[in-house]
Structure 1
Amino acid sequence: MKPILLSSIIFCSVAVSAQETVDTVSAPKAKENRFTVDVNLLTRGELRNGGLSNTENDDQTAAFVIERTLLGMEYERPGLSARVTAQHSGTWGSKETNSFNLYEAWARLQSKKGLFVQIGRQNLNYDDQRIFGADNWAMTAMSHDALKIGYEGHGHKIHIIGSYNQNIGNMNGGHYFAGGLQPYKAMEALWYHYDVPKIPLGASLLFMNVGVQNSEYAADTTTYQEQLVGAYVKYHPRRLTAELAFYYQFGTENNGLPVDAWMASAKASYDINPSLTLYGGYDYLSGDKNFAVPPHGHFGMTQHRKVKGFSSLYGSHHKFYGAMDFFYVTTYVGGFTPGLQNLYVGGRWIPVKRLSTDLSYHYLATAAKLIDYNRSLGHELEIALRYNLMKDVSIGAGYSYMRGTDTMAALKRAVDDDRELHWGWIMLTVSPKIFTTMW
């Protein structure tokens, strides 16, 4: 009996060992590598009657179709990711010489402890995108050639960013013109974010130093240093969302003038139900004092010894200050800025599945006191709709109306005799992932 029992034990042990060996050999290896190819096609038709232009052209009507194409490839595995995105943008029927460019080309090394390094051409998105944003509404999305080092973990995020630009035809420390990827010679930034445990509260601090040169005088290779410091806070308890931001600019701008400018914003939104959200807010951006509006056919001769007008730098400008993009996208007559006050209310409604609507009202005024004009710029009404036709395909449409004032007409030269401005648009967005593989 004992020999039989011993033989059985030996047989079972060998069988279990053999099964473990088979399981070990046959167990599939985890797929750690992922490669994807994605496309973003954006086509938008616009009809404008007034707006954007600050010329004295009597015909303010414009109709055009613009498009942007992004073709991206991305590779991921634990500890390493890389992405390359080509971009084409242009207006239907035109022949642009610089319509193709490289939007993204970066590599990111990531440790298990939260440390990372990302280098190459990349977009920078922080907080509400007021200072750093991709500006996806624009036909040429914004990116930066930069090195980013940081840590993310345990509710803390800290990013250190550095960039240095040079012209390929002038590599020996010469002048860097604003016609490059970004209008700065060098840029350094420090961003810190903290999410408070057990409280729906997040806060960020941002510091920037931007080195700029005067592109109008090639002989002047001086790099002027301009700084920005500020904070952003977001509180989101259940249905309520409250946002506050403040930024202060100082240093020296590219004409050698000292800078003393600031901006503040406050926004609140409340979800009445899953389909309806109401919101409102106020933006204040400081402006240049003693702002004189030159008459038609004349040049402004006001001398400024200090720049008080706030610059929104590299943010997603279309997201703020009214959808018609009168402010911080195109310049004022004379080149200075009287600043801006933007008081707005609105609501978002989802009446049926896949359809969303947004209706808002803006009262716009200058921040600085004007000579011979009052501060009021006008009233703007906006409506926008978005419908998801299918996965990765959506169609949007919008209409904006502005009743401008004499001040608006003098500053922008962009309203008709009735002080009315109209803008309508329709846009198709197609953004599929056309290929994904893992191994």
Structure 2
Amino acid sequence: MKKIYLLTIILCSFLVTNTIAQVRISAEVRPRSEFRNGFKTLTDDSKDPAFFTEQRSRLYLDYTNSDFVFKLAFQDIRIWGETTQIFKKEPGNTFISEAWGQYFFNPKFSVKVGRQILSYDNQRFLGGLEWAQQGRRHDALLFIYESEEKDTQLHVGLAYNQDDDVPEPTFLQGDGANFYSVAGNYKTMQYAWFHKDFNTGGFSLLAHNAGYQNADSTVSNKQTFGFIPNVTIGQVTLKGDFYYQSGKQGTNDVSAFLAGINATIPTAVTPLTFGVEYISGDDDLTDGKNTNFNPDFGTNHAFNGFMDYFYVGPANGAIGVNDIYLKTKWKIGKGSLQGHLHQFFTGSSQYDTTGESLSKAMGTEIDLVYAIKLAEAVTWNIGYSQMFATDTMESLRGGDRTHIQNWAWTMITFKPTLFTSSK
């Protein structure tokens, strides 16, 4: 890894002296310590709380000239202590985070190809997931049209994934050569995203298709259609998210939706955001219908509470969620305190082991995050969250709702610019 960093710096120096372009080298070091005691699911007296520190280290190279843009980002992710102090073999946590190039045919039309972040609107369905230390990346080809004069953007993206389970030359042809065995990822992906701005707001439209490999070598295609509007009326800003999913997932027909709306109102003390989001779901798939909406590629940590009880990780259930929330932020000294309050309900009817109907109320979550900028390239965050679960949550997730369910974390981010050439 050190050799790669050194080679990158030498390459940058060569580019600066031999081309009319701009080169920027930046870095990031972001350790985050977490205390987990009921994070993602309920805990009980039989389980010990967890404490650990995970660190992200990155080196970014950005190159720009009049015809194209190029980016490389090297990344190392590790938990403190997971490797010995003295080792000869790299544990394999160092890899390429981003590697893409964007060529401009003219100022409005370009093509972008490589390993990249796909992030749109509020990242509800397509997001970079930068809260996770590793982030979320796609290997994709994008056709991009952007017009500042018309306040219009159109992105069309394509991807076809393959794994390396069969080495070359057999990989190139033969039985099963195109079978995709990487779990949890799509085999093919196509999407179109359109955005238009107006004086008082704007809207986005999304049409997305993801093809997933089935065990019998067929491919199931699931479509997601989105409408994401925003408008400011007087001093009130309204935002919405409306998505519908169709197609197939395995042998089941998909028919699911997400609908959310919020209003931000300024006050003399702090802005207040009131919102509600309903996500359809049903854990009964015996009828061949799947009503479970899934924000497959979004930054899901930013929604439905920071304790990640829903749509983050595999153990979230498939019951749907109705989230009623209040969000605000106060300025405290040189920093700010962010506060969120969530009330969660099930998105479908649920029953206990005796067949009795459960209450839809699952619990209340409180999230607090304090952030302060210590220096030009240094930011410190500290957070605390607590879940007040109901009997319904305990019945669905296990654990003990009377046990304290909390999560605390602190993170410091160093993100300096190491070098910038003249234009």
TM-score scaled by structure 1?
A: 0.83
2:355 aligns with none
- Structure 1 letter corresponding to 2:132: A
Kindly report the root-mean-square deviation, in angstroms, between the aligned alpha carbons of the 2 structures. 2.1
1:194 aligns with 196
2:14 aligns with none
1:415-430 to structure 2, matched below 5 A, reads 415-416=399-400, 418-430=402-414
Offset of 1:56 from its aligned partner?
A: 8.4
CA contact (8 A) 1:50 1:60 kept: no
Offset of 1:419 from its aligned partner?
A: 4.6
1:364 aligns with 344
Residue number among 386, 391, 399 corresponding to 2:376 in the alignment: 391
Structure 2: gaps of 5 or more residues:
1-18, 84-89, 353-357
Deviations 1:41-82 (A, max 9, x none): 111111121122579892141111111112110100112110
Rounded to whole Å, the distance in 2 between the matches of 1:187 and 1:129 is 17
Against the structure 1 CA distance between its residues 71 and 99, is the aligned structure 2 distance closer, same or farther, given a 3 Å change threshold?
Answer: same
Segments ≥4 residues shifted beyond 6 Å: 54-57
Rounded to whole Å, the distance in 2 between the matches of 1:68 and 1:304 is 45
Offset of 1:97 from its aligned partner?
A: 4.4
2:39 is aligned with 1:51 = yes
Structure number with greater Rg is 1
SS in 1 for 2:418: strand
1:109-188 to structure 2, matched below 5 A, reads 109-153=103-147, 154-170=150-166, 171=171, 172=173, 173-179=177-183, 183-188=185-190
SS in 1 for 2:290: coil
SS in 2 for 1:126: coil
Offset of 1:277 from its aligned partner?
A: 1.6
Against the structure 1 CA distance between its residues 286 and 311, is the aligned structure 2 distance closer, same or farther, given a 3 Å change threshold?
Answer: same
Offset of 1:332 from its aligned partner?
A: 3.7
CA contact (8 A) 1:50 1:416 kept: no
Offset of 1:331 from its aligned partner?
A: 2.9
- Structure 2 letter corresponding to 1:251: G
Residue number among 72, 90, 103 corresponding to 2:78 in the alignment: 90
CA contact (8 A) 1:393 1:428 kept: yes
Offset of 1:407 from its aligned partner?
A: 1.8
1:299 aligns with none
1:339-350 to structure 2, matched below 5 A, reads 339-350=320-331
CA contact (8 A) 1:213 1:221 kept: yes
Against the structure 1 CA distance between its residues 265 and 56, is the aligned structure 2 distance closer, same or farther, given a 3 Å change threshold?
Answer: same
CA contact (8 A) 2:141 2:159 kept: yes
Deviations 1:196-233 (A, max 9, x none): 2xx2211110001100014xx4xx22111111111100
1:14-413 to structure 2, matched below 5 A, reads 32-53=20-41, 58-95=46-83, 97-153=91-147, 154-170=150-166, 171=171, 172=173, 173-179=177-183, 183-196=185-198, 199-214=199-214, 217=215, 220-236=216-232, 239-253=235-249, 255-272=250-267, 276-288=270-282, 290=284, 303-332=286-315, 336-352=317-333, 354-372=334-352, 373-413=358-398
CA contact (8 A) 1:280 1:345 kept: yes
TM-score scaled by structure 2?
A: 0.86
- Structure 2 letter corresponding to 1:169: D
Against the structure 1 CA distance between its residues 417 and 383, is the aligned structure 2 distance closer, same or farther, given a 3 Å change threshold?
Answer: closer
Rounded to whole Å, the distance in 1 between the matches of 2:20 and 2:273 is 43
Offset of 1:167 from its aligned partner?
A: 0.7
- Structure 2 letter corresponding to 1:213: Q
Structure 1: gaps of 5 or more residues:
1-30, 291-301
CA contact (8 A) 2:54 2:80 kept: yes
Rounded to whole Å, the distance in 2 between the matches of 1:256 and 1:213 is 12
Rounded to whole Å, the distance in 2 between the matches of 1:241 and 1:417 is 37
Return 122-131 or 281-290, whichever deviates more. 281-290
Deviations 1:151-182 (A, max 9, x none): 10021110000000001233343321234xx6
Rounded to whole Å, the distance in 1 between the matches of 2:318 and 2:35 is 27
CA contact (8 A) 1:40 1:70 kept: yes
